[in-house]
Structure 1
Amino acid sequence: MKIQRSIVVSIVLVMQLLLEANSLAVFDITKYGAKPGGPDISVALMKAWKDAMASTVASQVLIPRGDWTLSQADMSGPNKAPINLEVKGNLKAYPDLAAAKSSAWIRISKVDSLTISGGGVLDGQGQETWKRNDCGTKKACVKPPINLFLKSITNSIIHDITTKDSKFFHANCVESRNVTFQRFTVSAPGDSKNTDGLHMARSNSITVIDSVIGTGDDCISMGDGLSNIIVKNITCGPGHGISIGSLGKYTYETDVKGIRVEGCTLSSTTNGIRIKTFPSSPIAITVSDIHFVGITMVNVSRPIIFDQEYCPGKPCPVAKPSQIKISDVEIEGITGTSATSEVVTFVCSKDKPCDNIRIGAIDLKYIGKKPKPVTTRCQNIKPIFTATQNPPICSAPRPSTT
């Protein structure tokens, strides 16, 4: 399958032409009573959004420069014409988690031809929430709000915007089609819990390019039901790397097919490129047509890892192997340095061994403080080698120690 790029250039050009022709209907939140540094702007923002939804010409909801406080916003369509949410200022959530009334701080749904831009900041002020967040260990936890939740978005672009210190995931894009994230910045410290930079699932033709993501969890996490995904020229770190998964936890999950991760740099992350699936999965799906190409690792722990015994909670139900089938994967041009001596790890399922895994040029050096022999680990996989690897991959498979 040849993956096609899906950058929605036409939408951007239309918006630019409309701006130049001064024919854009602008809905400035200050015209609805919002004041910088003042009280909650949620009412003013929702009024501006409602009027923009009713517009029959291209419109812009404008949040000007300055500091603005927002409790939460649920902005839904459908819209009648292209719409731009122009965030020029610093939009701030309430630090107190008790102020959150839903699972998303800013939710946008059922909108076509959406642009989010402006160079502003979506500041979730999540520092206090991270201290109390136990969602990594408790199933019954109440999940904090996501900074930006996009659902059922089509033919849209999010560019030149920053999400900062989210209480939970920074951005989710689900059930969407033909969406581009460009020059998208994520900023949070490495110890911020469960703050995935961008999570996507059940979507088609999503492109993430030319972006910088530093956070406390996966820089980019890709869930089930994805197809035709491009992740290119991403700088990741701190964080947990670029991941497909975790998969195999829920019965509703569907196949993942057609993902290309290219030209990315990962720096001091806890993982590099990763596919992770749960053991004892209740559903049998496939992960195929995957390409990891031209990736630079800088002091990365576990630069390349397939983990089909992934289980962050205890105890782990490993009696039944993962039912997720990983096949048709290309790994090519992976270079740099590893913070751990086991630079490549393939732990595949006994029931569904990894198949047609093509490994090209790899050059990874261990730079840990304590000298150790560089190793690779291979379980239930027989790679196809197309170039030379340093260190040699899967030359002496070892049994699982888990």
Structure 2
Amino acid sequence: MGRTLNITLFFACLLLAFIIEVQAQSTSFDVTKYGAKADGSDISEALLSAWKEACNSTTPSTVVVPQGTFSLIQATLTGPCKAPIELRVQGTIKAPEDPSLIKEGEWVNVQYLDQFTLSGGGTFDGQGAKSWGQNDCAKTKVCSKLPNNFSFGFLNNSIVRDVTSLNSKLFHVNVLECNNITFSHFTITAPETSLNTDGIHIGRSNGVNVTDSTIGTGDDCVSIGDGAKQVSVTGVTCGPGHGISVGSLGRFENEQPVVGIFVRNCTLISTQNGVRVKTWPASKTGSATDMHFDDIILQNVSNPIVIDQEYCPWNQCTLDSPSRVKISKVSFNNVKGSSATPLAVKLVCSKSLPCEGVQIGDIDLVYTGTQGNMTSDCANVEPTFMGKQNPPICVKNGTAQSS
């Protein structure tokens, strides 16, 4: 064991030394040298000019947005580049308040890159407050499209660290078709009233890591869509928001399987939900398997533990037909804290495709409200249990049980 640890530390130090050396050799491209000014004028052209020159560099390069407050209408930063590239934002970049000025796509779109880094300690301010009232998802099945703060597409071996996403108009981050991308010490901030401002949405990507980050927003802190594989969410503090969710799944044709979701050592504070898996009823076919929620701390959280295969927001669907998404190999272990509602555990699976391989271990929740005892609601599932369950869960399948 000691020899293995020493070898591991040796290679870790070697990698750190390599990263430091690469950073030291990086060529810098400051956007102010391309005409960007912190005076309210649009820096889109200056940023793109700096990016193109940096992208053509045969040695590692860094595009720098220095201290100050800059305005950016829209940016699409595209590769492939000839060497590793970093966008280092030290100041604040503000989006236009009017979403119609962002003509197509997202506000900041980064795509087709290998070894990309976003860093610098700066803030991307989506200025979404005036847009949230335009969100009509509660009225129509097809929501009006507002721009996300970030779209990361087709990135490999990349990292986003030490930056803040503030007040996005819609999702803060959309991750699509990425492999081996990490979000570390990433801060997301928006009020609870900001509709559909998911923190990090992950779809059709493999090897996504969200670690040591703080997310407070008006929807899911982390939402995991179809095709997500080997996703790790560790050391995340969530709140306000709707919790950490797999799904919703099954709404669209040809959704890809979800495989390998690991949520560990996370804290959720005053969120609408804790950790959950959700699929639409009357859904398209799909599957979600190998999902594990371990060492979760909840503080005043409504709906702490959820599998909901009758997810139907704003009554835009029917419960006549069951979900056709198969859920299997799910575990909830060492989940502790306080529930804001008496219904602490909801495991409602599809009657046509009952959940399989659900494991419950060491659940210890308290409810301090006045609406009665804590309960669980279970249907079409037969979990296996380990350790303590407070409240008692699924004592008899299909009935709510009181503590």
- With structure 1 as the length reference, what TM-score do the two structures score? 0.94
Residue in structure 2 matched with residue 274 of structure 1 by the alignment: 276
How many residues align structurally? 389
Q: Is the 8 A contact 1:277 1:308 kept in 2?
A: yes
Q: Secondary structure at the match of 2:162?
A: strand
Given residue 75 of structure 2, which amino acid in structure 1 is its aligned partner? A
| Deviation of the 1:373 alpha carbon | 1.5
Residue in structure 1 matched with residue 21 of structure 2 by the alignment: 17
Residue in structure 2 matched with residue 309 of structure 1 by the alignment: 310
Q: Secondary structure at the match of 1:259?
A: strand
Q: Secondary structure at the match of 1:154?
A: strand
Residue in structure 2 matched with residue 352 of structure 1 by the alignment: 353
Q: Is the 8 A contact 1:117 1:159 kept in 2?
A: yes
Residue in structure 1 matched with residue 112 of structure 2 by the alignment: 110
Q: Against the structure 1 CA distance between its residues 270 and 13, is the aligned structure 2 distance closer, same or farther, given a 3 Å change threshold?
A: farther
Q: Is the 8 A contact 1:151 1:174 kept in 2?
A: yes
Give the whole-Å Cα distance in 2 for the aligned partners of 1:125 and 1:10: 42
Given residue 318 of structure 2, which amino acid in structure 1 is its aligned partner? P
Residue in structure 1 matched with residue 127 of structure 2 by the alignment: 125
Give the whole-Å Cα distance in 2 for the aligned partners of 1:355 and 1:398: 15
In structure 2, stretches of 5+ residues that fail to align are: 1-11
Give the whole-Å Cα distance in 2 for the aligned partners of 1:262 and 1:85: 29
| Deviation of the 1:102 alpha carbon | 1.6
Identity %: 47
Q: Is it true that 1:322 corresponds to 2:323 in the alignment? A: yes
Q: Is the 8 A contact 2:175 2:201 kept in 1?
A: yes
Give the whole-Å Cα distance in 1 for the aligned partners of 2:94 and 2:20: 28
Q: Is the 8 A contact 2:360 2:383 kept in 1?
A: yes
Q: Secondary structure at the match of 2:186?
A: strand
Task: After the TM superposition, list the runs of 4 or more consecutive aligned residues in structure 1 that deviate by more than 3 angstroms.
Answer: 8-15, 396-400
Give the whole-Å Cα distance in 2 for the aligned partners of 1:223 and 1:396: 32
Q: Is it true that 1:259 corresponds to 2:261 in the alignment? A: yes
| Deviation of the 1:24 alpha carbon | 1.3
Give the whole-Å Cα distance in 1 for the aligned partners of 2:215 and 2:361: 27
Residue in structure 2 matched with residue 332 of structure 1 by the alignment: 333
| Deviation of the 1:173 alpha carbon | 0.9
Equivalence map 1:2-401=2 (5 Å): 14-20=18-24, 23-283=25-285, 285-368=286-369, 370-398=370-398
Residue in structure 1 matched with residue 6 of structure 2 by the alignment: none
Give the whole-Å Cα distance in 2 for the aligned partners of 1:9 and 1:198: 30
Q: Is the 8 A contact 1:125 1:165 kept in 2?
A: yes
Q: Is the 8 A contact 1:11 1:113 kept in 2?
A: no
Give the whole-Å Cα distance in 2 for the aligned partners of 1:245 and 1:80: 37
Q: Is the 8 A contact 2:381 2:397 kept in 1?
A: no
Given residue 237 of structure 1, which amino acid in structure 2 is its aligned partner? G
Residue in structure 1 matched with residue 9 of structure 2 by the alignment: none
Given residue 165 of structure 1, which amino acid in structure 2 is its aligned partner? N
Give the whole-Å Cα distance in 2 for the aligned partners of 1:273 and 1:49: 39
Could you report, residue by residue, the CA deviation over 1:99-157 in whole angstroms, capped at 9, with x for unpaired residues?
11123000000000000000000000000001221134323432110001000000001
| Deviation of the 1:398 alpha carbon | 4.2
Q: Is the 8 A contact 2:382 2:397 kept in 1?
A: no
Q: Against the structure 1 CA distance between its residues 53 and 254, is the aligned structure 2 distance closer, same or farther, given a 3 Å change threshold?
A: same
Give the whole-Å Cα distance in 2 for the aligned partners of 1:54 and 1:97: 32
Give the whole-Å Cα distance in 2 for the aligned partners of 1:286 and 1:18: 42
Q: Is the 8 A contact 2:141 2:316 kept in 1?
A: no
| Deviation of the 1:252 alpha carbon | 2.1
Residue in structure 2 matched with residue 4 of structure 1 by the alignment: none
Q: Against the structure 1 CA distance between its residues 302 and 41, is the aligned structure 2 distance closer, same or farther, given a 3 Å change threshold?
A: same
Give the whole-Å Cα distance in 1 for the aligned partners of 2:13 and 2:152: 20
| Deviation of the 1:339 alpha carbon | 0.3
Give the whole-Å Cα distance in 1 for the aligned partners of 2:81 and 2:233: 28
Q: Against the structure 1 CA distance between its residues 303 and 385, is the aligned structure 2 distance closer, same or farther, given a 3 Å change threshold?
A: same
Q: Is the 8 A contact 1:239 1:269 kept in 2?
A: yes
With a CA cutoff of 8 Å and minimum separation of 6, indicate the structure with the bigger relative contact order: 1
| Deviation of the 1:367 alpha carbon | 2.0
Q: What do you get for the CA RMSD once the two structures are aligned?
A: 1.6
Q: Against the structure 1 CA distance between its residues 12 and 137, is the aligned structure 2 distance closer, same or farther, given a 3 Å change threshold?
A: farther
| Deviation of the 1:213 alpha carbon | 0.2
Q: Is the 8 A contact 1:11 1:155 kept in 2?
A: no
Give the whole-Å Cα distance in 1 for the aligned partners of 2:27 and 2:125: 27
- With structure 2 as the length reference, what TM-score do the two structures score? 0.94
Give the whole-Å Cα distance in 2 for the aligned partners of 1:221 and 1:10: 35
| Deviation of the 1:9 alpha carbon | 9.9
Give the whole-Å Cα distance in 2 for the aligned partners of 1:12 and 1:74: 30
Q: Against the structure 1 CA distance between its residues 10 and 165, is the aligned structure 2 distance closer, same or farther, given a 3 Å change threshold?
A: farther
Q: Secondary structure at the match of 1:239?
A: coil
Give the whole-Å Cα distance in 1 for the aligned partners of 2:281 and 2:230: 26
Residue in structure 1 matched with residue 4 of structure 2 by the alignment: none
Q: Secondary structure at the match of 1:17?
A: helix
Q: Secondary structure at the match of 1:78?
A: coil
Give the whole-Å Cα distance in 2 for the aligned partners of 1:345 and 1:244: 15
In structure 1, stretches of 5+ residues that fail to align are: 1-7
Could you report, residue by residue, the CA deviation over 1:342-382 in whole angstroms, capped at 9, with x for unpaired residues?
100011000110111111100001122x2411110000000
